[in-house]
A = this chain, B = another copy of it.
């Protein structure tokens, strides 16, 4: 059976690796935090002392790291993956990083004969735990097909966005739009309530009209409208403001590099930044609605 090296066992990586183990895969595990490795170690999950050791015999290398600098370091720098992995290994980076960085790393990998895909996820820690993640993949079609059985054991939906870096780019586009939808929905609901409308009635009407969108229907930011949304529990849990902010930074950087006007995306970025600076960084991103309302609902 294929050997898998899994590198990066944080909030997302750990449950993803656990799902592969549960599915009967054999893994070599590495993280800079030894405790993260120990928690998952077992008969089929062998701890490795370094990234280099983890990838030595691997047929697949999966990485799930916080930022582009970590990914560059792992594959191109001190991690030495490109030097120590088997030439036949397929490299799968699930981190969310700048498309330009993903392209650069993939190019370096190709230059040394490796196949590589970027496969950033959406679905959060809940999706990681329940193996319902969505993977948005950039890279060659045959590389994706080789990766598919593994991805399918960690997630539910797999999209092919294009060549290397395009998985990151598609995620950036989606999440920039999500940031805009959430603020726009918050404004519409706040405006209605400030003018006497009931937020539930208004949400129902918009949900059947041309303003309908994911953030309104699945993740309504107005407290009291949806029983199971973060708004119902003081915006605890969910997808954090600072994670949305990270994605919006990637979007703004891509927009500047490609000279594409994104006025609403840029403003959304700044509003989340202002919101984070006020102390809301760890709250769910739908808490942005509190920036638009007086604390007591007054006008």
Expressed in whole angstroms, the Cα–Cα distance for A269 and B198 within the complex equals: 25
User: B residues within 8 A CB of A254?
Assistant: 191, 195
- The smallest beta-carbon distance between A79 and chain B, in angstroms, is 23
Task: Tell me which of B187, B253, B260 contacts A262 (CB under 8 A).
Answer: B187
Q: Tell me the residues in window 171-197 of chain A with beta carbons closer than 8 Å to chain B beta carbons.
A: 172-178, 180-181, 183-185, 187-192, 194-197
Give the chain B neighbours of A214 by CB distance below 8 A.
Answer: 209-213
Tell yes or no: A256 within 8 A of B by CB. yes
* In the bound complex, CA of A198 to CA of B185 (Å): 28
Contact: A265 with B187, CB < 8 Å?
yes
In the assembled complex, A73 has its CB within 8 A of some CB on chain B: no
A191 in complex: contacting residue of B205, B215, B251, B299, CB < 8 Å: B251
Contact partner, A270, options B165, B188, B205, B261, Cβ 8 Å: B261
For A271, what are the chain B residues with a Cβ–Cβ distance below 8 Å? 263
Known A211-B174, A261-B270, A261-B291: A184·B187 in contact at CB below 8 Å: no
A52 in the interface, Cβ–Cβ < 8 Å? Answer: no
Is the Cβ of A183 less than 8 Å from the Cβ of B263? yes
The residues of B that contact A265 with a CB separation of less than 8 Å are 184, 187-188, 191
Give the number of copies in the complex: 4
CA distance A178 to B180 in the complex (A): 12
* Minimum CB–CB distance for A299 against chain B, Å: 5
Distance of A296 from chain B, by nearest CB (Å): 10
From B191, B259, B293, give the contact of A176 (CB < 8 A).
B191
Q: Would you call A268 an interface residue if the criterion is a C-beta within 8 Å of the partner chain's C-beta atoms?
A: yes
Given contacts A256-B252, A292-B277, contact A197 B173 (CB under 8 A): yes
Residue of B nearest to A266 (CB): B266
A122 close to B (CB within 8 Å): yes
A206 close to B184 (CB less than 8 A): no
Q: Are B173 and A189 in contact, with the CB atoms below 8 A?
A: yes
Cβ 8 A contact of A208, one of B157, B259, B292: B157
A194 to B261, CA, bound (A): 10
Chain A interfacial positions (CB closer than 8 Å to B): 99, 122, 134, 136, 157, 159-163, 165-166, 169-170, 172-178, 180-181, 183-185, 187-192, 194-198, 201-202, 204-206, 208-216, 218-219, 249, 251-256, 258-271, 273-274, 277-278, 291-295, 299
- Other 9 A-B pairs with CB < 8 A, given A180-B187, A264-B264: A136-B205, A162-B201, A166-B197, A173-B211, A184-B265, A191-B255, A252-B266, A258-B299, A274-B292
